[in-house]
Amino acid sequence: MSHFGKSGPPDIRDTYSLLVLNITFRTTADDLFPLFDKYGKVVDVFIPRNRRTGESRGFAFVRYKYADEAQKAVDKLDGRVVDGREIMVQFAKYGPNAERIHKGKTSETSSKMRGRSRSHSPRPRDRDYRKRSRSRSRDRHDREKYRGRERDHRPRSMSHSASPDRHKYRGRERYDEEPCSWSRSYGSASPARHSPSSKRSPSPHRTPNRSESPGGRNCNESSPALKSVSPRGQPALSPSPSPHRSRVDD
DNA sequence: GTTGAGCGTT
């Protein structure tokens, strides 16, 4: 998705990607292109955006053709106020083509440039101040939005005790576009259907959720709370009528 | 209509 109209990265053979952070959520690649193009030949400008909302994630990747121009852009545009926000320009490292950065002179030059030109940036000491939390704003909105949509059929009486401390942290997913497909369970596919021999558990009514996990679905943050809830407001703690008979196949 | 640590697409 380059604003060049080409599909995917144009040519990443000898390009140097710069990571532009702290840009506004309104800033688009078209806004950054003329900015970075003035300091060098910009091959491509790409802004990772949310695949659902389509909003910018607050950072962009500017791909330069030459490293020296990229460095110049880093030195010039790093700390530049764009759209009312001070952007941070630095060399991308975790990109798909981070190898050339590691083997090339880009790494040492970048650190050298940053060491002498960071005095003009009134930004906070270091990036440690932001380490405390990584994501909450847009992810939180999207998460609640999706959660409220899918669980709309669920009564709101679940606020009594549902282990709120575990669903609060869902690990780190940049894109919670669709981590788990619940539709597959609701469709014609059966969890025990992956085995040709149905010697697993012939009980079609209530199978222990222990063996029910095919191993591929780690997204069970809502499972504990998604269990059957009594109309009175008390969750059915025992999914199976006999707790000691957890293993039906045994 | 918001938000603000970070690392990317066909």
What angle in degrees, to the nearest 10, is found between the helix axes of A106-117 and A67-77?
Answer: 20
Domain assignment present for A47: yes
What does A50-98 look like in DSSP terms, one character per residue? -TTT--B-S-EEEEESSHHHHHHHHHHHTT-EETTEE-EEEE--SSTTT
Bases along strand B below 7 A from a protein CB: 2-10
Which pTM value belongs to this model?
0.53
Kindly indicate the confidence band of residue A4, based on its pLDDT and cuts at 50, 70 and 90.
low
**Angle A123-A124-A126 (CA atoms, 0-180°, nearest 5)?**
110
- Which nucleotide is nearest, taking the CA of residue A85 and each C1'? B4
Domain assignment present for A188: no
Domain assignment present for A70: yes
Domain assignment present for A1: no
In angstroms, rounded to a whole number, what is the distance separating the alpha carbons of residues A110 and A112? Answer: 5
| A44 CA → B10 C1’, Å | 14
- Per-residue model confidence as pLDDT tens digits over A214-236: 444 444 444 444 344 444 444 44
- Which nucleotide is nearest, taking the CA of residue A174 and each C1'? B6
In angstroms, rounded to a whole number, what is the distance separating the alpha carbons of residues A71 and A88? Answer: 13
Distance, CA of A20 to chain centre: 17
- Per-residue model confidence as pLDDT tens digits over A158-207: 444 444 444 443 434 444 444 444 444 444 444 444 444 444 444 444 44
Average pLDDT over residues A73-90: 91
| A220 CA → B7 C1’, Å | 27
Domain assignment present for A41: yes
Domains identified in chain A, total number: 1
- Which nucleotide is nearest, taking the CA of residue A136 and each C1'? B3
- Per-residue model confidence as pLDDT tens digits over A18-48: 999 999 998 988 889 999 999 999 989 999 8
Domain assignment present for A102: no
| A179 CA → B7 C1’, Å | 20
- Which nucleotide is nearest, taking the CA of residue A98 and each C1'? B7
Q: Give the structural domain span for A52.
A: 16-91
Domain assignment present for A58: yes
In angstroms, rounded to a whole number, what is the distance separating the alpha carbons of residues A223 and A127? Answer: 36
Average pLDDT over residues A76-92: 90
Domain assignment present for A109: no
- A77: domain CATH number? 3.30.70.330
In angstroms, rounded to a whole number, what is the distance separating the alpha carbons of residues A227 and A66? Answer: 56
Handedness of CA A78, A82, A87, A89 (dihedral sign): negative
A49: helix, strand or coil: strand
% of chain A at pLDDT higher than 90: 15
| A56 CA → B9 C1’, Å | 13
